[in-house]
Amino acid sequence: MNLRKSVKIIIVGAGFGGLRLARRLSHYKNLEITLVDRFNFHQFQPLFYQVATGGLDPSNISFPIRKIFQKKNNVRIRLAELQYVRPTEKAIVTDIGLMQYDILVLACGATTQFFGNEDLARWALPMKSTLEALNIRYSILERLEKAIVCQDSEERQRLLTFIVVGGGATGVELAGALAEFKRFIVPRDYPEIRPEEVRIFLLEGGSKILPGMSHRSSHQAADYLRKLGVELKLNTLVENFDGKFVTLNNGEVLSSATVVWAAGIRGNVPGGIPSSVQTRGMRLQVDRQCRLLGFDDIFVIGDLACMATPKYPAGHPQVAPVALQQANFVAKFISRIYGSEKKSEGLQKLPEFEYRPSGVMATVGRNLAVADLYFPKWHLAGRWAWLTWMTLHLMLILGVKNKFFVFCNWLYNYLTYDQNLRLLFRNEHT
Does residue 286 come out as left (phi exceeding 0), alpha (psi in the -120 to 50 range) or beta? beta
Let me know: does 334 contact 32? Beta carbons within 8 Å. no
In this predicted model, what pLDDT tens digit does every residue of 233-278 receive, in sequence order? 999 999 999 999 999 999 999 999 999 999 989 999 999 999 999 9
In this predicted model, what pLDDT tens digit does every residue of 102-155 receive, in sequence order? 999 999 999 999 988 999 999 999 999 999 999 999 999 999 999 999 999 999
**Is 339 within a domain?**
yes
CA dist., res. 53 & res. 43, Å (int) = 17
Q: What is the pLDDT of residue 338?
A: 79
**Is 397 within a domain?**
no
Looking at the structure, tell me whether residues 293 and 253 fall in a common domain. Answer: no
Cα atoms in the 13 Å half-sphere on the side-chain side of 427: 2
Percent above pLDDT 70 for the chain: 95
Neighbours of 100 (CB within 10 A): 13
Provide the residue range defining the domain that includes 234: 118-262
Q: What is the pLDDT of residue 262?
A: 94
Helix-helix angle 383-396:400-416, to 10 degrees: 150
| Domain finish residue from 199, 228, 262 | 262
| Domain finish residue from 343, 373, 391 | 343
In this predicted model, what pLDDT tens digit does every residue of 269-302 receive, in sequence order? 999 999 999 998 899 999 999 999 999 999 999 9
Looking at the structure, tell me whether residues 180 and 300 fall in a common domain. Answer: no
Domain count of the chain?
2
Looking at the structure, tell me whether residues 127 and 251 fall in a common domain. Answer: yes
Task: Label residue 6 by pLDDT band (50, 70, 90).
Answer: confident
Choose the most confident range, by mean pLDDT, from 167-176, 329-338, 388-397.
Answer: 167-176
Query: For strand 265-267 and strand 103-106, is the pairing parallel, antiparallel, or unpaired?
Result: unpaired
Q: What is the pLDDT of residue 377?
A: 85
Looking at the structure, tell me whether residues 93 and 152 fall in a common domain. Answer: no
Looking at the structure, tell me whether residues 252 and 270 fall in a common domain. Answer: no
**Is 398 within a domain?**
no
Looking at the structure, tell me whether residues 93 and 200 fall in a common domain. Answer: no
Looking at the structure, tell me whether residues 136 and 227 fall in a common domain. Answer: yes
Q: What is the pLDDT of residue 347?
A: 55
**Is 269 within a domain?**
yes
Q: In the predicted model, what is the mean pLDDT of residues 417-422?
A: 80
In this predicted model, what pLDDT tens digit does every residue of 173-227 receive, in sequence order? 999 999 999 999 999 999 999 999 999 999 999 999 999 899 999 999 999 999 9
Q: What is the pLDDT of residue 2?
A: 43
Q: The domain that contains 281 carries what CATH number?
A: 3.50.50.60
In this predicted model, what pLDDT tens digit does every residue of 41-63 receive, in sequence order? 999 999 999 999 999 999 999 99
This prediction has a pTM of 0.91
Q: What is the pLDDT of residue 339?
A: 65
- Beta-bridge mates of residue 91: 86, 100
Q: What is the pLDDT of residue 340?
A: 56
Q: What is the pLDDT of residue 430?
A: 44
**Is 319 within a domain?**
yes
Looking at the structure, tell me whether residues 226 and 159 fall in a common domain. Answer: yes
In this predicted model, what pLDDT tens digit does every residue of 67-113 receive, in sequence order? 999 999 999 999 999 999 999 999 999 999 999 999 999 999 999 99
Q: What is the pLDDT of residue 422?
A: 82
Q: The domain that contains 238 carries what CATH number?
A: 3.50.50.100
**Is 381 within a domain?**
no
Looking at the structure, tell me whether residues 289 and 186 fall in a common domain. Answer: no
Q: How far is CA 274 from CA 144, 267, 350, in A?
A: 47, 14, 25
Q: What is the pLDDT of residue 424?
A: 78
Q: What is the pLDDT of residue 308?
A: 95
Q: What is the pLDDT of residue 103?
A: 96
Looking at the structure, tell me whether residues 13 and 100 fall in a common domain. Answer: yes
Q: Residue 376, preceding bond cis, omega within 30 degrees?
A: yes
Looking at the structure, tell me whether residues 179 and 220 fall in a common domain. Answer: yes
Q: What is the pLDDT of residue 51?
A: 94
**Is 396 within a domain?**
no
Provide the mean pLDDT of the chain.
92
**Is 422 within a domain?**
no
Task: Label residue 5 by pLDDT band (50, 70, 90).
Answer: low
Looking at the structure, tell me whether residues 86 and 130 fall in a common domain. Answer: no
Let me know: does 301 contact 15? Beta carbons within 8 Å. no
Q: What is the pLDDT of residue 348?
A: 62
| Domain finish residue from 242, 262, 282 | 262
Q: Where are the beta strands (DSSP E) in 167-315?
A: 199-203, 230-233, 238-241, 245-248, 253-255, 258-261, 265-267, 278-279, 283-285, 298-300, 305-306
